[in-house]
Structure 1
Amino acid sequence: MKLQIIFHRAKCIGCNACVEAAPERWRISRKDGKSNLIGAKEKKGIYQVVVSIDEQEENIKASSNCPVRIIKLNVLKKK
């Protein structure tokens, strides 16, 4: 199984909650103070990345700690 992370960056307030929960996947941008989802591809302002299911626990924390609720997670099952 894999984990898909979906991030609506434009709505980010730069609170750092995601970075604190999952620092290997999230960083704060020096340019605008918003979070960056490491390894993600952007399409129409929405960033997505598929990662190992091993990253699920810390990214659940990142998602649930986000005060503006802009991090969504989907577990992808093999077809």
Structure 2
Amino acid sequence: MPKIVHLREKCIGCAVCAEMQPNLWSMSKKDGKATLLHSTSKRNISVLPVDTLTHERTQVVAKACPVNIIKLS
């Protein structure tokens, strides 16, 4: 199953992911960083298994991230 991996610790809070894909991302009011919704998190790395269509749509978001911390596998 395809996955989205978010390296949250390196997030700069630009919010491009939340603007492009609000169903998967939100901005934390606590620290201003992006949060991958419905994911499991361990050591500031969030992982979310997704369907193929969501995986394909997230490729555009990953490319738009200025610090390249959204990975797809």
TM-score by length of 2: 0.91
Aligned amino acid, residue 30 of structure 1: K
Within-5 A mapping of 1:3-14: 3-14=2-13
Number of aligned residues: 73
What's the counterpart of residue 34 of structure 1?
Answer: 33
1:64 aligns with 2:63: yes
Q: How much has 1:49 moved relative to structure 2? A: 0.7
Pick which of 63-72 and 44-53 moved more: 44-53
Report the aligned-residue RMSD.
1.1
Q: Distance in 2 between matches of 1:4 and 1:44?
A: 17
Q: How much has 1:43 moved relative to structure 2? A: 1.3
- Detail structure 1 runs of 4+ shifted over 3 Å in the superposition: none
Q: Distance in 1 between matches of 2:16 and 2:57?
A: 11
TM-score by length of 1: 0.84
Which residues of structure 2 form unaligned runs of 5+? none
Which residues of structure 1 form unaligned runs of 5+? 75-79
Q: Distance in 1 between matches of 2:2 and 2:32?
A: 26
Q: Which has the higher strand share?
A: 1
Q: Distance in 1 between matches of 2:41 and 2:51?
A: 19
Aligned amino acid, residue 26 of structure 2: R
